[in-house]
Amino acid sequence: MMLKKPIQTILLAFAIWFCLLFGIGQNPTIAATLTEAELISPERMQTLPESNLESGVDSFLTSIPAGYYTIANVEGLKSFLKKHQSVLVDVREASEYRSGHIPNAINIPLRTLSHNLNLIPRDRPVVLYCSSGYRSAMGVMTLHLLGYNNVLGFPPSFAAWKTAGEAIALR
């Protein structure tokens, strides 16, 4: 049990590195391609040493579905929000949020996400967005690593919402 916290930390770091390296939040097509691709051949997998960490990482990566937990466009987000009693979370910094955000979104900056888990329900859908998709992708992966299975990302993010001419709340 002493290794649980370090393993979670390593998995989180790996997920964030992966998101930054490949920019998954920017393009759901890339995410779907990456999750469906065979990145390590079966022969190579047999030469890797067995460990709980590798097994945990493998289990986590193979559980990522095609589409990478995403809502792909503005109309999709609007429809999803109408159909579900969901929580919309803006993971941008407070100053960005105050300068304009999607109506009814709450602000939990990405760097404070793990300190505000009490604001994120487990019993209804949660949708994360940011300005361009990177931070929301990291937030989705972080929450999934923490056991939240009800979290989606909106990779088109605030930029697409604004470009579509949708209502913007100021605060």
CA distances from 25 to 44, 47, 48, 85, 87 (A): 28, 32, 29, 24, 19
Q: Does the pLDDT of residue 21 top 70, yes or no?
A: no
- pLDDT given for residue 136 in this prediction: 93
- pLDDT given for residue 49 in this prediction: 55
- pLDDT given for residue 55 in this prediction: 76
Q: Tell me the domain boundaries of the chain.
A: 1-171
Residues 36-59: what's their mean pLDDT? 58
- pLDDT given for residue 42 in this prediction: 55
* More confidently predicted of 48 and 108: 108
Which CATH number applies to 1-171? 3.40.250.10
Per-residue pLDDT of 87-101, as tens digits, reads: 999 999 999 999 999
Instruction: Extract the tokens encoding 15.
Output: 């997920």
- pLDDT given for residue 12 in this prediction: 59
Q: Does the pLDDT of residue 121 top 90, yes or no?
A: yes
Q: Does the pLDDT of residue 51 top 70, yes or no?
A: no
Please state which of the ranges 42-56, 71-85, 89-103, 122-136 shows the lowest mean pLDDT: 42-56
* More confidently predicted of 75 and 61: 75
Residues forming the active site: 130
- pLDDT given for residue 67 in this prediction: 58
Residues 46-61: what's their mean pLDDT? 66
**Pick from 92, 22, 96, 95: nearest CA to 64:** 22
Mean pLDDT score of the chain, rounded to an integer? 78
Q: Is 29 helix (H, G, I), strand (E, B) or coil?
A: helix
Contact 136, 129 (CB under 8 A): yes
